[in-house]
Homo-oligomer: A and B are copies of this chain.
Amino acid sequence: LDYQHVQVPFEITLWIMLASLAKIGFHLYNKLPSVVPESCLLIFVGLIMGGIIYGLNDKSPPVMDSDIFFLYLLPPIVLDAGYFMPSRPFFENIGTILLYAVVGTIWNVFGIGFSLYGICQVRAFHLQDISLLHNLLFGSLIAAVDPVAVLAVFEEIHVNEKLHILVFGESLLNDAVTVVLYKLFRSFCEMPAIKTVDVFAGVGKFFVVGIGGVLVGLTFGMTAAFTTRFTKDIRVIEPLFVFLYSYLSYLTAEMFHLSGIVAIIACAMGMKRYVEANISLKSHTTVKYFMKMWSSVSDTLIFIFLGVSTIGENHEWNWPYICFTVIFCLIWRALGVLVLTFFVNRFHVNSVTSKDQFIIAYGGLRGAICFSLVFLLPDFRRKKLFIAATTVVILFTVFVQGMTIRPLVDLLHVKRKRESAPTVGEQIHIRFLDHLLAGIEDISGHWGQYYWKDKLEYFNSKYLQKILLREYDQPKSSIVLLYEKLERKHAIELAEAGQLGHAASHPSLLSGFLCSNSDRTVITDKKSEDTLNPDVLESIQEILARNLYRIRRTGPAYSRHTLPGEEPTEQAEEILIVQRRSL
């Protein structure tokens, strides 16, 4: 037996296997996941495993290595989140999201830091040795909302799109703030004296970290799109480039101390439309499938490890500090959301309701990022207390808030995600309003989001598409692409139905219309045959394509476990009706 030799890959494979089997297990018993979120169940599995390891070895089980978390487990989740990000709601609410992510996080950090420092001054608690700086450092790691935890819970409760993107977008973009503040306070802790220059440098650094991340991401995203122009003869390695370039953008950003999360999201959102146009349909399926698969496994592993790492002897228990941490986290977040939303609502027509505010505040879950950061702290006397407090905050938010948020959403009648996709009519109106608003903004000289969107679209079709797309000379409008996709899907369904012996009653879309009438009268048959001659069809398509240029179905909200567009029946029927009317 030579275990040493294969240990590393063997143990990795076994952990992944355990995670996958746990997932299958939960889904076999349908009742459980409908009450308890999967993240809670996974932490619970982790706690049991940690208990077993602790019981057998009589020493603390290994904690999750921060390097493994940041280098291998986090990127797939963020890549998946960025790639499937619904871009319209994201850009429509980008101002609000940035406000929550930047100002809100800073507010929380200082709020929690200062008030914990206040608690430390109470003699009875025996906490006087924790300095203000250490409290602020702790605040910087505990304040940020965690994207992994938020995703895991919010994908199950189906709130409306705007609310979802506000919480989710904040959790992703606050990474830049967290990185800067955490590193700043950590370096301050090790400095003998802090100069005013350092503080200003810190403020400047925030912009560098955020905007630098975006630039690194966009550079790699564009390179990825450019590379896929040349993969026509070697389709099998196409999916690889999507993963390689995204991962490189993350690593490069981390290398230069920029925000890796921001970089990988910029990369994924930047390359998506070009890559999808260049690669083959099968490659695209593979990319989507593998992204979902990897992020799903990563997420499972993170929660299991979180559970395992909780067990052990690296905690120092101090009731007041830990309780007040939980309380302050809740209070400062609630206050922050209230104050910021007040300002947001003054400038937006479509305001954030008080119910939405409550869910935003209550959905501020903490997760594995805090946990990894607290282990990365330099060793000092009270590190174990910080670890204990972080663990409690994470478990409290994931278990208590995570499990009660679904009943609360039901109780408050929070506006849900609309189940049906927008109709073609709605889409035409949305598109029309976009053009109208861009025109109004242009005339009034106000450079708002519609103005910039229009400019970007122009720049894209004028320059970017020519460089990045393989067949830039034939830009198919999105409605034609959608039509092709639906036609293909419908054809598959019909073929499958036909196989079951109903072929004669449901033939293919166009010919179906002819044949189903064929037994009524010959004249109808003849007539519709004439209507459908290729020239007429082509002109119909051209009119559709010209007038409905760029109408795009708003993508369904993000979900970890399903690929978008898996319920095509209504869509297919819709196009069938439209088609029949046009004949």
Q: Which residues of B contact A495 (CB under 8 A)?
A: 484, 487-488, 490-491, 508-509
Q: Which of chain B's residues have a CB closer than 8 A to the CB of A533?
A: 504
A28 to B231, CA, bound (A): 9
User: With contacts A3-B255, A5-B67 known, is A236 near B293, CB below 8 A?
Assistant: yes
Q: Tell me which residues from 239 to 267 in chain A have a Cβ below 8 Å from any Cβ of chain B.
A: 239-241, 244, 247-248, 251-252, 254-257
Q: Which of B13, B244, B522, B534 contacts A251 (CB 8 A)?
A: B13
A508 touches B488 (CB 8 A): no
> Given the complex, which residues of B lie within 8 Å of A27, measured CB to CB?
233-234
Q: Does A326 contact B (CB under 8 A)?
A: no
Give the chain B neighbours of A452 by CB distance below 8 A. Answer: none
Q: Is B248 within 8 A of A17, CB to CB?
A: yes
Are B292 and A236 closer than 8 Å at their CB atoms? yes
| Interface flag for A282 (CB, 8 Å) | yes
- Which residue of B is nearest A28, CB measured? B230
The 8 Å CB contact of A9, one of B71, B488, B496, is B71
Per-position binary interface string of chain A over residues 256-293, scored 1 when its CB falls under 8 Å from any chain B CB and 0 otherwise: 11000000000000000000000000110110011011
**Given A2-B255, A236-B296, A285-B286, are A503 and B532 also a contact pair (CB < 8 Å)?**
yes
Q: Is A474 an interface residue (CB 8 A)?
A: no
The smallest beta-carbon distance between A175 and chain B, in angstroms, is 16
Given contacts A20-B240, A24-B230, A24-B237, 12 further A-B contacts (CB under 8 A): A10-B248, A13-B251, A24-B227, A24-B234, A283-B289, A286-B289, A488-B495, A501-B534, A501-B537, A503-B510, A505-B534, A507-B515
For A559-576 the 0/1 string (1 means CB < 8 A from B) is 001110000000000000
Bound together, the chains give a CA A562 to CA B283 distance in angstroms of 12
Query: In the complex, are the beta carbons of A518 and B512 less than 8 A apart?
Result: no
The yes or no answer to A23 lying at the interface (CB within 8 A) is yes
Min distance, Cβ A308 to any Cβ of chain B, angstroms = 20
Q: Complex formed: what's the CA distance from A486 to B274 in Å?
A: 31
Contact of A297 among B10, B240, B492 (CB under 8 A): B240
* A490 surroundings in chain B (CB, below 8 A): 495
Q: By the criterion CB–CB under 8 Å, are A289 and B522 in contact?
A: no
CA distance in complex: A99, B20 (Å): 41
Distance in angstroms from A465 CB to nearest chain B CB is 21
Within 8 A of B (CB), among A498-556: 498-499, 501-505, 507-512, 514-515, 518-519, 522, 525-526, 529, 532-534, 537-538, 541
Instruction: Give the distance to chain B from A218, nearest Cβ to Cβ, in Å.
Output: 18
Q: How many residues of A contact B (CB 8 A)?
A: 92
Are B514 and A297 in contact, CB atoms less than 8 angstroms apart?
A: no
CA distance A230 to B255 in the complex (A): 42
Residue of B nearest to A245 (CB): B17
Give the CA-CA distance A483 to B498 in the complex, in Å.
11
Indicate if A1 sits at the interface (CB-CB under 8 A).
Answer: yes
Known interface pairs A251-B10, A515-B514. Does A231 touch B24 (Cβ–Cβ under 8 Å)?
yes
Q: Which residues does chain B contribute within 8 Å of A491, judged by CB atoms?
A: 491-492, 494-495, 508
In the complex, what's the smallest C-beta–C-beta distance from A555 to chain B, in angstroms? 17
30 A-B pairs, CB-CB below 8 angstroms?
Answer: A1-B255, A1-B256, A5-B67, A5-B254, A5-B255, A9-B71, A9-B72, A10-B248, A13-B247, A17-B248, A20-B237, A24-B237, A236-B293, A236-B562, A236-B563, A237-B293, A286-B289, A487-B498, A488-B492, A488-B496, A491-B494, A495-B509, A498-B510, A501-B537, A501-B538, A502-B534, A503-B532, A507-B507, A507-B510, A511-B511
Report Cα–Cα, A244/B21, bound state, in Å: 11
A339 interface hit (Cβ, 8 Å): no
Give Cα distance in the complex from A301 to B49, angstroms: 38
How many protomers of this protein does the assembly include? 2
Cβ B10 vs Cβ A239 within 8 A: no
Whether A16 sits at the interface, judged by CB under 8 Å, is yes
Indicate if A201 sits at the interface (CB-CB under 8 A).
no
User: Smallest CB-CB separation from A254: which chain B residue?
Assistant: B6
A282 neighbours in B (Cβ, 8 Å):
285, 289, 563
The complex places the Cα of A23 from the Cα of B232 at a distance, in Å, of: 12
Say whether, besides A257-B2, A494-B491, A507-B511, A16 and B529 are in contact (CB < 8 Å). Answer: no
Most chain B beta-carbon contacts within 10 A, residue among A17, A285, A496, A515? A515
Cα distance A7–B557 when bound, in Å?
36
Q: How far is the CA of A9 from the CA of B14 in the complex (A)?
A: 21
Chain B nearest Cβ from A142, distance in angstroms? 23
CA–CA, A257 and B6, complex, Å: 11
> How far is A518 from B524 in the complex, measured between Cα atoms in Å?
12
> How close is A514's CB to chain B, nearest CB, in angstroms?
6
User: With the chains together, A492 CA to B67 CA distance in Å?
Assistant: 47
Q: Please tell me if the beta carbons of B244 and A20 are within 8 angstroms of each other in the complex.
A: yes
Least distance between A477 CB and chain B CB atoms (Å) = 13
**A519 and chain B: residue at smallest CB distance:** B529
Q: What residues of chain B lie closer than 8 Å to A247, measured between beta carbons?
A: 9, 13
A75 to chain B, nearest CB (A): 9
Q: Chain B nearest CB: distance from A525 CB in Å?
A: 6
Residues of B within 8 A of A241 (CB): 20
* A237 in contact with B510 given A244-B16, A251-B10, A529-B518 (CB within 8 Å): no
Task: Give the docked Cα–Cα distance between A149 and B547 (Å).
Answer: 56
The answer to whether A13 touches B248 (Cβ under 8 A) is yes
CB pair B499–A484 under 8 Å, yes or no, is yes
